Structure 1
Amino acid sequence: MPLVETAFQVVDAFTDKAFAGNPAAVMILEKFPADDILFKISREFNLSETAFIVPKYEGSTHEFHLRWFTPTAEVPLCGHATLASSHVLFTQMTEKQRQSGPLRFHTLSGELSVEFKTAAPEKLSTRNEMSLPELVMTPDLSIDRNVLCDAFGITENQILFVGSCHWGVLVEIDASTTPLHAIKPNFKAIASVNASAILLATQCGTDLHGEYDFISRMFAPNLGVNEDPVCGSAHSVLAHYYANKLKKSEFKAFQASARGGEIHVVYDAVAGRVRIAGDAVTVSKGVIYM
C-alpha cells in the first residue's frame, strides 16, 4: 500500500516570535486513524502536545473534531495546542472567512470556540481568543506537603494553598524568597504525586514579575512532559482561583518557564468560562508519510 503524504505544521503558541512560547505540532486529517498511529506520530514529534484536527462534516470550514496527545497520553484539554490549531486553520482562510464566525472544536472537554482577532503575515503570526471551561480546585489535605517541598525546594511555610481537581493539582506559594523562575524542580518527586499535572503559582507582588497579576509554572512528568512551557488550560484553573482571591475578572499572566509566555485572561463566573487570548506563530511545515 503506497504511503500517503500528510501535512503538518509546528506552531509556537503564546508568542509572536519563533522559539518562544509553547510549541505544538498540528495535523489536519480527513479522519482519525487508530490511536496507536496517533501515539506514534506524537512520539515522533516529541513535543508536549500534538493536535489532530478532523472536519466535523465534509466541506466544513469552521467546525472540527480536535484531539490532543502527549508522547504518552491523550489529554482531555490543551489550551496551547488549541490556540496552535486555530492559528493553522485561520491562516488558511480568506479574510472574509476569518470574520464569518468563530471556530468550533468538539473535544473531550466539550465544545471549545476560538475567535480570530488579528494577523501579522510578515511574522507568520495571528492573535486569537479561545473560550475554555473553568476548572475549580478544592482544598486537598491528602497531598503530602513534605513531598511538595522536596519537589520544588521550598519550605512548608511558603505553601499558601494546595488544591486538586480532575485536571491536576494547584500549589500556590509565597515566592518572595524563592522566585518561581529560579526553582529547580525535582521531577522524580513531582511524579510521585498522584496527579496528571502540578501547577505552581504565585500572586505577583511576591515575585519579580510585578507587571502581572500572577505567574505560574506547570509540570506533568506523569504525562511524559517534565515542564509544559506555556499551558493554556492551566489558566482555566488560575482564572477561577485568582478571581475569588483578588476579586477581579481580568488578568495579565505570565508562565515563567525557560521559553516563557504571556497570557491575557478574562473570567466569566456566570457562564463558568475562561477567555484566553494569545499569539501564535508558524515555525516549520512539512509532511509525514503515513
Structure 2
Amino acid sequence: MQLDFHQVDAFSDRPFAGNPAMIYRLDSWLDDALMQRIAAEHNLAETAFVVREGASWRIRWFTPACEVPLCGHATLASAHVLFEVYDEPGERLDLLCKSGALAVSREGERLVLDFPAQYLESVDLAGEVEPIVGQRVMNLQGGKELLVELESEQAVRACAPDLKALAGLPGLGVIVTARGERHDFVSRYFAPGIGIDEDPVTGSAHCILTPYWAERLGKTELSAFQCSARGGELHCRLEGERVKIAGQAVLVASGKLFI
C-alpha cells in the first residue's frame, strides 16, 4: 500500500519556521495502531489524518506517542493541504473531531481556525512548579493543561524546565506565558508526557491563552508569539465561547509512504 503525505510548516510564511506537521488525506480510516506507527515514524509533534464525511472532514491527530483530542497547527496544515494541494473549493472547511465541530476559513493569505474557548481553574501548585520551571510563578491555572504565568517575556524565553519532573505534573502539558514586549503575550509549550519535549507553535494552547489574556488585558483582539527556537506568530480573537486563531502555512515536502 502507498499513501501520499504532505509536510507543512504551520504558523509561518516561510520554510523551516513555525511548527511542522505531516498530513494524510485518506479515502477511509486506517487501523488506529497503524496510524500511531506512522506518526512515530515521522516523529513530528503531530501527524494528522483527514477523511471526508459528507460535507465535512473528520480529523485525527497523533503525536509520536499517542492520539490527542485537539491540535491547532496540524489543523491549519491540513486545511492548507486540502485547499492548495487537493483544490478543495470554497473558503471554509468544516471539520469534526473528538473535541467537537471545528472550522477553518481563508482570509487573504491567512487561514483562520475556529476553535472552542477553554478555561482553566486556579490551582495551588506554585511551590511544586517553581523549581521545575526554574522561574518565579506569578499565576497558576490547571485542568486539561497547566498554565504557568511568569513575570516577563525574558523569563519565558529563559525557561529551561526539568522535563522529567514536568512530565509528572497534572495535564497533557505545561504552557508558560507572560505579557509580551512586542506582542500582547508570549508563550512556550512543553509536553514530554505525550512525547513532545517542546512544541514549536501550539495552536490549541491558544484556546486557553486567548481567553486568559483577554480577561487580563481587557481586549478581545490579541497578537501572540510562541517563542520556541523556530518561533511562530498567531493572531487571536475571542468571540464569545469561540477562539479565532489566524496564521499562515507553507508546504515544504510531499512524498509517498510504502507499507
Q: TM-score range by the shorter chain?
A: over 0.9
The Cα shift of 1:118 comes to: 3.2
2:225 equivalent among 224, 230, 254: 254
Q: Please point out which of 152, 156, 159 is paired with 1:175.
A: 152
What SS is found at the alignment partner of 2:225? strand
- Which residue of structure 2 aligns with residue 225 of structure 1? 196
Amino acid at match of 1:116: R
Q: How far does residue 53 in structure 1 lie from its aligned partner after superposition?
A: 0.4
Equivalent in 139, 143, 153 of residue 165 of structure 1: 143
Partner of 1:6: 3
Instruction: Tell me by how many angstroms 1:188 deviates.
Output: 1.1
Q: Does structure 1 conserve the Cα–Cα contact (< 8 Å) formed by 2:143 and 2:171?
A: no
- Where do residues 208-219 of structure 1 align in structure 2 (5 Å cutoff)? 210-219=181-190
Q: Which of 6, 16, 21 lines up with 1:19 in the alignment?
A: 16
Question: For the Cα contact (< 8 Å) 1:250–1:265, is it kept in 2?
Answer: yes
TM-score by length of 2: 0.96
Give 2:254's aligned residue: 285
> TM-score if structure 1 supplies the norm length?
0.86
**CA shift at 1:173, angstroms?**
1.2
CA distance in 1: counterparts of 2:10 and 2:129, whole angstroms: 29
In the alignment, the residues of structure 2 paired with residue 70 and residue 80 of structure 1 have an alpha-carbon distance, to the nearest angstrom, of: 12
- One-letter amino acid of the structure 2 residue matched with residue 38 of structure 1: M
Residue 149 (structure 1) shift: 1.7
Give the secondary-structure state (helix, strand or coil) at the position aligned to 1:179: helix
How far 1:212 sits from its partner (Å)? 0.3
Aligned residues with identical type, % of pairs: 39
Q: CA deviation at 1:179?
A: 2.8
Unaligned 5+ segments in structure 1 are 120-126, 205-209
Q: Provide the residue aligned with 1:235 in structure 2.
A: 206
DSSP-derived class of the 2:255 partner: strand
- Give 2:118's aligned amino acid: L
Q: How big is the shift at 1:148?
A: 1.6
Q: C-alpha distance in 2, partners of 1:41/1:148?
A: 34
Q: Is the CA contact 1:147–1:189 (under 8 Å) kept in the aligned structure 2?
A: no
Counterpart of 2:134?
153
Over the residues paired in the alignment, what is the CA RMSD in angstroms? 1.4
- Aligned pair partner of 1:69 in 35, 40, 62: 62
What residue in structure 2 maps to residue 107 of structure 1? 97
Partner Cα separation in structure 1 for residue 93 and residue 123 of structure 2 = 36
Give the aligned partner of residue 132 of structure 1: 115
1:93 CA displacement:
5.2
Amino acid at match of 2:106: F
Task: Give per-residue Cα distances to partners, 1:43-101, cap 9 Å, x unaligned.
Answer: 000000000000113xx5xx21000000111100000000000000010355xx64x34
1:197 is aligned to: 173
Kept in 1, the 8 Å contact 2:61–2:70? The answer is: yes
Q: Which amino acid aligns with 1:68?
A: W
Cα drift, residue 284 of structure 1: 0.7
Q: Distance in 1 between matches of 2:175 and 2:85?
A: 34
Partner of 2:243: 274
Report if the CA contact (8 A) 1:162-1:170 is conserved. Answer: yes
In structure 1, C-alpha distance between the alignment counterparts of 2:4 and 2:48, rounded to whole Å: 13
